[in-house]
Amino acid sequence: GDSVTQMEGPVTLSEEAFLTINCTYTATGYPSLFWYVQYPGEGLQLLLKATKADDKGSNKGFEATYRKETTSFHLEKGSVQVSDSAVYFCALSEGSARQLTFGSGTQLTVLP
């Protein structure tokens, strides 16, 4: 079945550092890929998405490129802020049901 593997956390960075959170997936077809973010005490919010190979999703300075050849969708940001501290989830969706399969989440803490 489908699965998503994320880099283990927690990740701690200083403000303005470069961020990469790795995500790889296993799927039988051609899934859509997502990054969701969960701020403390809140539900998940869609951060960005890509629906086909070589698509780049971007939002709020975050980017991720759908790489079919490496089955990856790594999240990057050039300069993180304290307000980016949250848990980040990689997810995929495919098939007629379109339910999401999530990775285990990566806790990011950004220090001032």
Shortest CB 14 distance to another protein, Å: 25
Binding segment for another protein (CB under 8 A), chosen from 12-20, 42-50, 65-73, 76-84, is: 42-50
Shortest CB 72 distance to another protein, Å: 17
Shortest CB 101 distance to another protein, Å: 8
CA distances from 44 to 12, 83, 92 (A): 21, 16, 14
Asked if residue 99 binds another protein (CB under 8 A), the reply is: yes
What is the CB neighbour count within 10 angstroms for residue 103?
A: 23
Element (H, E) at 73: none
Contact string (CB under 8 A) for another protein, positions 48-77, x = contact: -x-xx--x----------------------
Binding segment for another protein (CB under 8 A), chosen from 15-23, 63-71, 73-81, 98-106, is: 98-106
Q: Is-contact 110 80, C-beta < 8 A?
A: yes
CA distances from 7 to 22, 55, 103 (A): 5, 21, 9
